[in-house]
A and B are shown apart, each in its own frame.
Chain A
Amino acid sequence: MMKRVTYLFLGVLIAACTSIDCPVESNVATLYQVCNSDGTELTLTDSITVTTKTAEDSDTIIFNKGVGISSFSLPISYKHPEDVLVFSFDNENNKNLHVTDTVWIKKEDYPHFESVDCSASFFHNITDVRYTRNYIDSIVIKNPSVTYDSKTVHFYFYPKSSN
């Protein structure tokens, strides 16, 4: 009996291996859904590029020349109260279209911890969105909570119907 118990103990020790359980999807980003004014999904025929200004005061592209898209994903800053994004819309076949809009996204940031083995990350709560209205008709917050969930739509993006 005692011999069996010893074997059981050794078996359990061998089985008690460690593992690292970090989330497979560890990217935290915002998802925009392009919509018609009636709320149906719309595919943009004009190309869209999004830039932002970094701490070094240089412009960096965060979304490059998306064409024929009905949704797109943009990064969100770790810990800055407001992100400023410049959207450029271009189309050579549409009267050489080149229009820009600026979007300001206000948010609250909070640290998120999974394990010491996983990289530090931040989740966010979007509190407000403002925008210029050259190409954009409106942007509506659909879901303010930004987490690892890459399937959740955070913004409904309505372009002007006259574009």
Chain B
Amino acid sequence: MTLRRFISTSILRAAISIVVLSASVPASAQKFFAFQKDSVPTFRGFAVSFDLVGAGLMAFSDNGQYEGALRINLHDEWFPIVELGLGRADHNDDVTYIHYKTSAPYFRIGIDKNLLKEKHGPYRLYGGLRYAFTSYKVDIARQDFPDPVWKWNTGFGIKDAQCNYHWIEAVVGVDAKIAGPVHLGWSIRYKRRISHSEDGEFGNTWYVPGFGKFGDTRLGGTFNVIIDI
């Protein structure tokens, strides 16, 4: 209930901020939000993309994600986007002997703005924002080990602990047309957790699907193959 109230309050504050901001911004800033006036139609189609960095991590490490996105092209300037993925971790630590496992879908929703002056060219430079959410379960276990004082064998296990995670991302990316409908692009992302909950208050989670390893770094990146459809 507290979490819901927090999210509702956050959304309400964000909405009020946007309304106040849009009412108070000067004409030059309002121009930023408007479309350029030319003969190109507003709706320019859809694009789908697939992230190769997450897939590479999935193939060559013990955590990663498969991620795809659907983007709407509005006048080559504004790009509302939905990103869907499946994040997974299955890690055995050689030093602490802790085994961590999770697998869950996640989504992000947001919008990008093409920051280049030449909007309709083969290159794009994006700046954007995302809101992201995942609901996931974690298993954390360690083989029995002796209590250092009492010497009893002690098991350590957390099974199917239900967790959820809300975060936002600031995105900067580029995109270049390669051939026909095919583009290649990359993005770097600054991630910030806004709320979370862990069932049973066992502490923190380590890998969060879509967010990555918590506490490791707030930066992330993607390398995308993009196809206009």
Using CB atoms and an 8 Å cutoff, list the residues of chain A in contact with chain B.
Answer: 1-2, 5, 8-9, 12-13, 15-19, 21, 52, 54-56, 60, 62, 75, 77-80, 83, 110-120, 122
Q: Tell me, rounded to whole Å, the shortest Cβ–Cβ distance linking B78 to chain A.
A: 20
- B172 lies within 8 A of A8 (CB): yes
- B96 lies within 8 A of A118 (CB): yes
- B204 lies within 8 A of A16 (CB): no
In the assembly, what is the distance between CA of A27 and CA of B181, in Å? 59
Task: Pick from A2, A78, A114: contact of B147, CB below 8 A.
Answer: A78
What are 14 A-B pairs with beta-carbon distances under 8 A? A12-B221, A16-B221, A18-B213, A18-B217, A19-B216, A54-B149, A54-B150, A60-B149, A78-B147, A78-B154, A80-B152, A111-B157, A113-B203, A120-B145
Residue of B nearest to A118 (CB): B96
The 6 closest A-B pairs by CB, nearest first: A113-B203, A120-B156, A55-B151, A116-B93, A16-B219, A78-B154
Q: Verify if B32 is at the interface (C-beta below 8 Å from A).
A: no
Task: Name the interface residues of B101-135: CB closer than 8 Å to any CB of A.
Answer: 116, 123, 125
- B123 lies within 8 A of A2 (CB): yes
Chain B interface: which size bin?
A: 35 or more
- Other than the given A5-B174, A77-B147, A119-B96, 9 more pairs (CB < 8 A) read A18-B213, A54-B149, A60-B149, A75-B149, A80-B147, A111-B156, A116-B96, A116-B206, A120-B145
Q: Tell me, rounded to whole Å, the shortest Cβ–Cβ distance linking B67 to chain A.
A: 18
- B100 lies within 8 A of A110 (CB): no
Tell me the dominant secondary structure on chain B's binding face: strand
Q: Verify if B137 is at the interface (C-beta below 8 Å from A).
A: no
Most buried by B among A18, A77, A80, A111: A111
If A112-B203, A117-B93, A119-B96 touch, whether A1 touches B116 (CB-CB below 8 Å) is yes
Most buried by B among A8, A79, A83: A79
Tell me the dominant secondary structure on chain A's binding face: loop
In the assembly, what is the distance between CA of A9 and CA of B174, in Å? 10
Q: Tell me, rounded to whole Å, the shortest Cβ–Cβ distance linking B114 to chain A.
A: 12
- A18 lies within 8 A of B216 (CB): yes
Task: Pick from B93, B150, B200: contact of A55, CB below 8 A.
Answer: B150
In the assembly, what is the distance between CA of A33 and CA of B95, in Å? 36
Q: Verify if B98 is at the interface (C-beta below 8 Å from A).
A: yes
Q: Verify if B186 is at the interface (C-beta below 8 Å from A).
A: yes
In the assembly, what is the distance between CA of A1 and CA of B126, in Å? 12
Q: Tell me, rounded to whole Å, the shortest Cβ–Cβ distance linking A76 to chain B.
A: 9
Q: Verify if B56 is at the interface (C-beta below 8 Å from A).
A: no
Contacts of A54 in B (CB 8 A): 149-151
Most buried by B among A13, A15, A75, A113: A113
Most buried by B among A2, A19, A115, A118: A115
Q: Tell me, rounded to whole Å, the shortest Cβ–Cβ distance linking A9 to chain B.
A: 6
- B154 lies within 8 A of A112 (CB): no
Q: Verify if B91 is at the interface (C-beta below 8 Å from A).
A: yes
